[in-house]
Amino acid sequence: MFVTPGADNADDRIDWAWTAMPATHALADDLSGSGLLRGRRVGVSLVLEPKTAALALALRDTGAEVAVFSAVSETDPAVAEALSARGVRVFAPGGAGSAETDADNAAGILDWHPDLLIDDGSHLVRLAHTERRGTLETLRGAAEETTSGVRPLVEMAAEGELRIPVIAVNDARTKGLFDNLHGTGQSCVLAIADLLDPVENPGRTLPRRDVIGAVWLVIGYGPVGQGVARHAAALGAQVLVLERDPVRALAAAHDGYGVVSSIADPEVDTVDVVVSATGVWHTVGLDLLTRVREDTVIAVAGGIDDEIALDDAHAAGWTVRRVEPDLSAWSAPATPAKIVYVLADGGGVNYTAAEGNPIEVMDLSFATQLVALRQLCRDGLEPGLHPIDTAAEAEVAALVLEQRMGRTAVDIPTDPGRVGGAAQHWSTHRYRSESSV
Ligand SMILES: NC(=O)c1ccc[n+]([C@@H]2O[C@H](COP(=O)([O-])OP(=O)(O)OC[C@H]3O[C@@H](n4cnc5c(N)ncnc54)[C@H](O)[C@@H]3O)[C@@H](O)[C@H]2O)c1
């Protein structure tokens, strides 16, 4: 379920999010009981919308001191103000801001000397390892929310540069299998559909672009690309996938989508909507912007800076005209000028032009973040990148199964000693059983 931006005031939206996060509350209650976070400073760096605000308040209830950082482009200013009014330190703009605002706020939350961080994109962890190294004296660890944040941490860990333990929450099964796949797929496709809906936008000049019957090119077939493809197809789009990993490209073909091997493929001529789901810089390069046909719509589901090479387009003489707050027309310097439409200025469309992922998956992601904080406090991890404890994953999933579906986790008795079957005779596990009975 989505919260409709602007439907009510920010306090109401935070309160609504608060009531819809039962797993987060259950784990926050546990943390409160254990006292593990009492008196600790926890810095939260996440897109600042009502669900994040509710997480910050739940964390505060554990006895932690909490501060939130969010970049200008990822902040709902009304939520920032409402959260600040409830006594949480907010390093995010309650109004307009600039790149300097972001730099000041990021430095500000680190100078507050958090003990623990929930980071998203590893922005704060990387800042702490470069321009704010003093922070590392007191920082005990961090939990990283997303794929594009884990990637630089993998590199830093391999080079021996990571000076604190970081848990790759993104890679927990209770995060990536739900948030990246289901939540982001759903929220990005619905955000794009809303932005292109002619009923929502009467009188516009943009050609009608229903999802049904349109050709969508999804670039990248990781969990996010898979989710986008799945939800677009469910709404009637014809989906093409461009994926550079041949195994994932093959998986896309088995999932029933068309697979193109490069932007030169003739099928790219038919594309109505391009979605980048890579989190890789310049995925939609100037060559693809030039290649697609007039009126193609381009959006980002991944969400790093310049995932669409609008900087190159600008340098090559393309001009931009804002049509609607989250829809711009980019004109190529050709005669006649070709126009392509870019959604949300090339930012992640679900959190820039809508209100992020459904609360059910964010409850799961936040619950996973809380067990990661517990692991950091309890387990005394070495500096480096760590997976989440698998027992904690199972605990979170069982909790959510019970809370949302009234089901307890399946309890099938196994021989705890030799669950892999090594204790059985070598001849077992044939594909066809020859029963001796
Ligand atoms: N918008 C959101 O709310 C949200 C939520 C979760 C994750 N994300 C972000 O979405 C991005 C994707 O996440 P994921 O977990 O699917 O990542 P992933 O790394 O598992 O998958 C990305 C895929 O893109 C492919 N790829 C990269 N560059 C390519 C190119 N130029 N052409 C074709 N294929 C290319 C890679 O081979 C890979 O298979 C990340 O940046 C992640 O942080 C966004």
- Compute the distance between CA of residue 298 and CA of residue 216 in angstroms, rounded to an integer: 10
pLDDT at site 322: 92
Is 217 domain-assigned? yes
Task: Determine if ligand 1 sits within 6 Å of the CB of residue 346.
Answer: no
Question: Do residues 28 and 139 share a domain?
Answer: yes
Q: Give the CATH number for residue 15.
A: 3.40.50.1480
Residue 431 pLDDT greater than 60, yes or no = yes
- Edge-to-edge strand order for the sheet containing 384-386? 89-91, 65-69, 41-45, 116-119, 141-144, 165-168, 384-386
Question: Do residues 122 and 220 share a domain?
Answer: no
Question: pLDDT tens-digit profile of 180-212?
Answer: 999 999 999 999 999 998 665 566 666 667 899
Question: Do residues 223 and 130 share a domain?
Answer: no
- Compute the distance between CA of residue 318 and CA of residue 337 in angstroms, rounded to an integer: 9
Residue of the CA atom closest to atom 35 of ligand 1? 220
Question: Do residues 329 and 387 share a domain?
Answer: no
pLDDT at site 202: 61
Q: Quick one: pLDDT band at residue 2, thresholds 50, 70, 90?
A: very low
pLDDT at site 205: 64
Task: Determine if ligand 1 sits within 6 Å of the CB of residue 185.
Answer: no
Is 298 domain-assigned? yes
Is 195 domain-assigned? yes
pLDDT at site 84: 97
Residue of the CA atom closest to atom 8 of ligand 1? 302
Is 419 domain-assigned? no
Is 44 domain-assigned? yes
Q: Quick one: pLDDT band at residue 415, thresholds 50, 70, 90?
A: low
Q: Provide the number of structural domains found in the chain.
A: 2
Residues 6+ apart with CB under 8 A from 135: 110, 111, 113, 114, 128
Question: Do residues 348 and 377 share a domain?
Answer: no
Question: Do residues 209 and 109 share a domain?
Answer: no
Question: pLDDT tens-digit profile of 274-308?
Answer: 999 999 999 999 999 999 999 999 999 998 889 99
For residue 146, the CA-to-ligand 1 centroid distance in Å is: 10
Question: Do residues 122 and 189 share a domain?
Answer: no
Q: Which of 180, 242, 257, 283 to mutate to test the pocket of ligand 1 (most atoms within 8 A of CB)?
A: 180
Is 306 domain-assigned? yes
Q: Quick one: pLDDT band at residue 346, thresholds 50, 70, 90?
A: very high
Is 196 domain-assigned? yes
Residue 168 pLDDT greater than 90, yes or no = yes
Question: Do residues 116 and 35 share a domain?
Answer: yes
- CA 188 to ligand 1: nearest atom: 1
**Residue numbers of the domain that contains 119:** 10-175+356-404
Question: Do residues 212 and 327 share a domain?
Answer: yes
Q: Quick one: pLDDT band at residue 335, thresholds 50, 70, 90?
A: confident
- Give 132's DSSP letter: T
Question: Do residues 336 and 379 share a domain?
Answer: no
pLDDT, mean of residues 115-142? 97
Is 434 domain-assigned? no
pLDDT, mean of residues 18-23? 96
Question: Do residues 102 and 165 share a domain?
Answer: yes
Q: Give the CATH number for residue 338.
A: 3.40.50.720
Question: pLDDT tens-digit profile of 147-160?
Answer: 999 999 999 999 99
Kindly list the distances between the CA atom of residue 391 and the CA atoms of 104, 137, 223, 266, 368, in Å, as whole numbers in the listed order. Answer: 39, 30, 23, 48, 11
Centre a 10 Å sphere on the Cβ of residue 36 and count the other Cβ atoms it contains: 17
pLDDT at site 1: 41
Question: Do residues 110 and 163 share a domain?
Answer: yes
Task: Determine if ligand 1 sits within 6 Å of the CB of residue 278.
Answer: yes
Mean model confidence pLDDT for the chain: 92
Range in 34-48, 218-232, 350-364, 417-431 with the lowest mean pLDDT: 417-431
- Compute the distance between CA of residue 63 and CA of residue 388 in angstroms, rounded to an integer: 23
